[in-house]
Amino acid sequence: MESKAKSRGGRPWSFDRQKAVETAMRLFWRHGYEGVSIGDLTTEIGIAPPSLYAAFGSKADLYREAVARYEQTLGCLDVASIKSGGALADAVRVLLEGAVRAVTDPHRERGCLISSGMVACHPEHAPLARDAATRRDAMRERIAEALQPFARVDEVQRLARHLAAVMQGISIQARDGCELAELQEIVEDVVAGVAARFPKDGRKQ
């Protein structure tokens, strides 16, 4: 989708808005919100600062749009695959192995933009940090919903919080350079623990 904004001289700048959001998403993913300047964004997108402000309003608004794009595409859970497992441990394996593949994909940035994003920031960016925390809460709820066929609500809620913490740790370790095989060891330990705690096969009755 092509967007048009005017330069200081009044000449319209045309650019692909979706591509611009994708570019911003990868910059924020790689360097964090505070590690990306307006100059970085305009250079990579290929527009002048006034055009960026005209199109997106502010750097913070562009960040929100970039995170939303990530959440809708690369950061979404494959709920159908998770629910297709024969037992809770199988579902947990599908969830965590999918997370490991995502954060170590050589064609993407390392880690998860939502899990690792805005964990610490300058006080003036607190609204963005709260938004990130809200998105992480929503992710935890989606995990619980995906696991609901396999256990009681109270068990699933507790397990979802644990798994969200594991996935956040996996994201950070991936950013630190851990390889897929190393992260897979974490998956095996977690799955073994779930299988031991919930030994019953199949779905909840």
Tens-digit pLDDT profile for residues 32-75: 999 999 999 999 999 999 999 999 999 999 999 999 999 999 88
- Is 90 exceeded by the pLDDT of residue 10? no
Which 8-state DSSP code applies to residue 9?
Answer: T
Q: Please state which CATH number belongs to domain 17-72.
A: 1.10.10.60
User: Residue 88, class by beta-carbon neighbours within 10 Å (0-12 exposed, 13-18 middle, 19+ buried)?
Assistant: buried
State the Cα–Cα distance between residues 64 and 117, nearest whole angstrom: 11
CA distance 110 to 44: 19
Give this prediction's pTM.
0.86
Q: Is residue 36 within 8 Å of 60, Cβ to Cβ? A: no
Distance (Å, whole) CA 76 – CA 159? 19
Domain ranges in the chain are: 17-72, 76-197
Reply yes or no on domain 76-197 having CATH 2.50.20.
Answer: no
Of 6-20, 41-55, 149-163, the least confident: 6-20
Tokens describing residue 110: 């390392």
Residue 7 has pLDDT above 80, yes or no: no
